[in-house]
Amino acid sequence: MTTTTPSSLPDRKPSSNPFLKIITKIPWTWVITFTYLAFLLILPIIALLIKAASEPLDSFWKTATSPIAISSYEITFVTAFAAAAINGIFGTLIAWVIVRYNFFGKRFLEAVVDLPFALPTAVAGLTLATVYSNNGWVGSLLAPLGIKIAFSRIGVFVAMTFISLPFIVRTVQPVLTDLEKELEEAAWSLGASQIQTFTKVILPPLTPSILTGIALGFSRAVGEYGSTVIIASNTPFRDLITPVLIFQRLEQYDYVGATVIGVVMLVISFVSLLAINLLQAWSKKYG
Amino acid sequence: MANLHNSESNYDQDLLQSQPKKQQKSIAPKILIAISFLYVGLVLLIPASNVFVQAFAKGFTPLIEAFKQEDFVSAIKLTVGLALVALPLNTIFGLSAAWAIARNKFPGKALLLSIIDLPFSISPVVAGLMIVLLYGRIGWFGSFLEANNIKIVFAFPGMLIATIFVSMPFIAREVIPVLDEMGTEQEEAARTLGANDWQIFWKVVVPNIRWGLLYGLVLTNARAMGEFGAVSVVSGNIAAKTQSLPLFVEEAYKNYENEIAYSAAVLLALLAVVTLVLKEILERKTHNPNERE
């Protein structure tokens, strides 16, 4: 499991290129970079993996696939995907509006989209729990309809939607900016309808970046803890997400349980990172 | 003349033809803009403005009262302290990493970039868990630390490590593209004129990357002050000792002390507003020259 050892990282390549030689005369940038990464990033990851590897495989598997863990994966991943997907639609729409139209409040809209990057997640959780509680601004409108948002799985969805929105907008926006308007105009002048222009001309080059944005938002939502722990009731099998499960295991001093589920999360982070890189490589082909 | 006339009439015809389309289009943008504002309003603006409404529903007195509480003040101090230490360290790392990556060609460059980005994809809770497994009582260094009476987990150093972990990638990510774009000509020119590394760094590199660096610093600071998950795992959440402002918000909320929870939350929300404003300004400074080209 532990293929990335710190010692295999330094690639201080002696360059034959004379001007690179001048610049690589500052080796301490490498020293700082690799020491920092080794101690603060790689070492902790290795500690987690080794701790998990010391667990016999069958009991590892048993802990990783216990009913409560499985239900937490389902709640986390399905909800995160739903949140990222709905933002995939509305985030693309917002990016389109920002790039293509001029209107009053455009700069405001653009700045506000980044709010989830700037607002601490605990504050997001607090205010969402208030607004969507049964006597909150939005919650009180939905409560008579029998829809309960705060302290339920829908609350988790709302929090995940909040934190993942900017990822989609910010990923699609630059690609949309680079998209040549002439192509659309050409399609129109050739008699394509607006819907045809959208599905045949605009959407194909945007698809990789929309998917990248969804993957980034998904990966953020899956790992989210602060806002979700506050808005959810954290009841097993109902709205208990995996990060909260890890936290609860730690609180009970069940380090093995926390580690095993932590490794599952870590592996999923790596897989999403790989998927995001592949998607980005794909979108570069269009660029 | 005939040609000109011809093209003119074509133009007229185009105008005529595009008239109905234009009209159609003039409604569509309005609908799309309205949907955008509705969605952003529902998802982001209502929750954000609620923080201010709740905090100032009774004027400034709750906030002033909050400042009289020792736990509240020490949470602010701890949060500021964490940022004050994490920021310089992450700046040194971020600049070194950006320089190493932008100014060298080597195999595995993409891999190194991905590694630097890792803290963004690792769940904060998992990050906290990893720190506990290293420095906690049962951790690798646990017995050594205990023997030497050094406390990391459930103390400031552990919270600092967690803060550094989650806010590590921002500066490198913002500075690398600026360094790439800047090129090496100016540095070479300075070098041939006899400048040393230090002079080149301060007189040539820093003036060029300052906006990108500042942008990275703003993002690092927002994350460092606002981090909840990772810090929560390693802090032990001891009031007045290891309780940062975001942890204070959660604890107050859990104890049904909504008023003081919102007093703390509004400070963090103000930080977010300042962050967004600075972000807007810096984004224009760093990206505009790009667009003009």
Same structural domain for residues B191 and B87?
Answer: yes
CA distance linking residue A81 with residue A272, whole number of Å: 12
CB atoms B29 and A100 under 8 Å: yes
Q: Is residue B109 part of a domain?
A: yes
Same structural domain for residues B26 and B159?
Answer: no
A25 at the B interface (CB within 8 A)? yes
Q: Is residue B5 part of a domain?
A: no
Q: Which pLDDT tens digit goes with each residue over B117-140?
A: 999 999 999 999 999 999 998 889
CA distance B213 to chain A (A): 16
Running DSSP on this structure, what letter comes out for residue A73? H
Number of domains in chain B: 2
CB contacts < 8 A (A, B): 283
Give residue B8's pLDDT. Answer: 44
Is the CA virtual torsion A31, A37, A40, A45 positive or negative? negative
- Report the residue from A32, A110, A116 with minimal CB separation from B92: A32
Q: Which pLDDT tens digit goes with each residue over B95-106?
A: 999 999 998 888
Apex A222 CA angle, A221 and A224, nearest 5: 60
Same structural domain for residues B76 and B215?
Answer: yes
Domain C-terminal end among B31, B55, B79:
B55
Range of the domain at B36: 21-55
Q: Is residue B10 part of a domain?
A: no
Q: Is residue B168 part of a domain?
A: yes
Question: Does A137 or B1 have the greater pLDDT score?
Answer: A137
Chain B residue whose CA is closest to A110: B280
The CATH number for B154's domain is 1.10.3720.10
Domain C-terminal end among B40, B55, B70:
B55
**Which CATH fold topology does A57-286 show?**
MetI-like fold (1.10.3720)
Same structural domain for residues B192 and B222?
Answer: yes
Give residue A286's pLDDT. Answer: 62
Same structural domain for residues B42 and B169?
Answer: no
Same structural domain for residues B103 and B130?
Answer: yes
Chain B residue whose CA is closest to A97: B33
Q: Is a pLDDT exceeding 70 seen at residue B209?
A: yes
Give residue A282's pLDDT. Answer: 83
For A83, B72, B252, B253, B260, the CA distances from B256, given in Å and listed in that order, are: 29, 16, 6, 5, 9
Give residue A190's pLDDT. Answer: 87
Same structural domain for residues B190 and B112?
Answer: yes
- Report the residue from A94, A114, A129 with minimal CB separation from B39: A94
pTM confidence score: 0.87
Domain C-terminal end among B55, B70, B97:
B55
Determine the residue type at A176.
Answer: L
CA distance B275 to chain A (A): 6
CA distance linking residue B273 with residue B44, whole number of Å: 13
Same structural domain for residues B91 and B179?
Answer: yes
- Kindly give the confidence (pLDDT) of every residue in chain A, 287 residues in length, as a single tens digit, with 9 standing for 90 and above: 434 444 444 444 555 666 656 555 556 888 899 999 999 999 999 999 999 999 999 999 999 999 999 999 999 999 999 999 999 999 999 999 999 999 999 999 999 999 999 999 999 999 999 999 998 999 999 989 989 999 999 999 999 999 999 999 999 999 999 887 888 888 888 888 878 888 888 888 899 999 999 999 999 999 999 999 999 999 999 999 999 999 999 999 999 999 999 999 999 989 988 888 888 888 777 65
Same structural domain for residues B239 and B114?
Answer: yes
Confidence band (pLDDT; 50, 70, 90) for B292? very low
> Which of these ranges, A17-21, A102-106, B248-252, B254-258, has the smallest mean pLDDT?
A17-21
**DSSP states along A81-132:** HHHHHHHHHHHHHHHHHHHH---TTHHHHHHHHTHHHHS-HHHHHHHHHHHT
CB atoms A33 and B100 under 8 Å: yes
Chain A residue whose CA is closest to B158: A40
Q: Is residue B270 part of a domain?
A: yes
For A11, B179, B187, the CA distances from A1, given in Å and listed in that order, are: 22, 35, 42
Question: Does B19 or B219 have the greater pLDDT score?
Answer: B219
Give residue B252's pLDDT. Answer: 95
Same structural domain for residues B245 and B278?
Answer: yes
Q: Where are the domains of chain A?
A: 16-53, 57-286
Same structural domain for residues B169 and B252?
Answer: yes
Task: Look over chain B and give the mean of its residue pLDDT values, rounded to a whole number.
Answer: 88
Q: Is residue B16 part of a domain?
A: no
Give residue B25's pLDDT. Answer: 54
Same structural domain for residues B51 and B191?
Answer: no
Give residue A9's pLDDT. Answer: 43
